[in-house]
Amino acid sequence: MYDILKGKFLVSEDSLKNWRFILFCTLLAIVMIFCSHSAERKVHEIAKLNKEVRELRSEFVDTQKRLMTLKMESTIKERVANMGIKPADNPPQKILVLNVLEEE
């Protein structure tokens, strides 16, 4: 235990394998830290995109609601009343066109 505390395992004759193991562990730690930062970045990006999707969906519903309001007959009557256009009093009549060539 005393040799480990003094660090003799790093300077002894077979210290090369110890250094390799230490470098390997360090490399693994660096890779792990990089992967965790990358995953965290992706989680933040997904949260941001989900928030944007919710906002766009809300805007879509609001726009659809306004469109339905604008398409209502009462709204159209109000908008064209100042142009002098009003609904017809009598219903439209159906016009039949007979093909003269068929009769011959």
Place of tokens 């944007």: 52
- Please tell me the predicted confidence (pLDDT) of residue 37: 97
Instruction: Walk along the chain (104 residues) in steps of 10 and give the mean pLDDT of each run.
Output: 73 81 94 97 97 98 96 89 86 84 60
- Please tell me the predicted confidence (pLDDT) of residue 26: 96
**Token pair recorded at residue 15:** 């210290």
**Token pair recorded at residue 41:** 């970045």
Measure the CA–CA gap between 74 and 86, rounded to whole angstroms: 11
What are residue 52's phi and psi, to 5 degrees? -65, -40
Tell me if the pTM is above 0.75. Answer: no
**Structure letter (DSSP) for residue 10:** G
- Please tell me the predicted confidence (pLDDT) of residue 88: 82
What is the DSSP annotation of 16-66?
HHHHHHHHHHHHHHHHHHHHHHHHHHHHHHHHHHHHHHHHHHHHHHHHHHH
Distances in Å between the Cα of 40 and the Cα atoms of 25, 32, 34, 37 are 22, 12, 10, 5
- Please tell me the predicted confidence (pLDDT) of residue 103: 55
- Please tell me the predicted confidence (pLDDT) of residue 61: 97
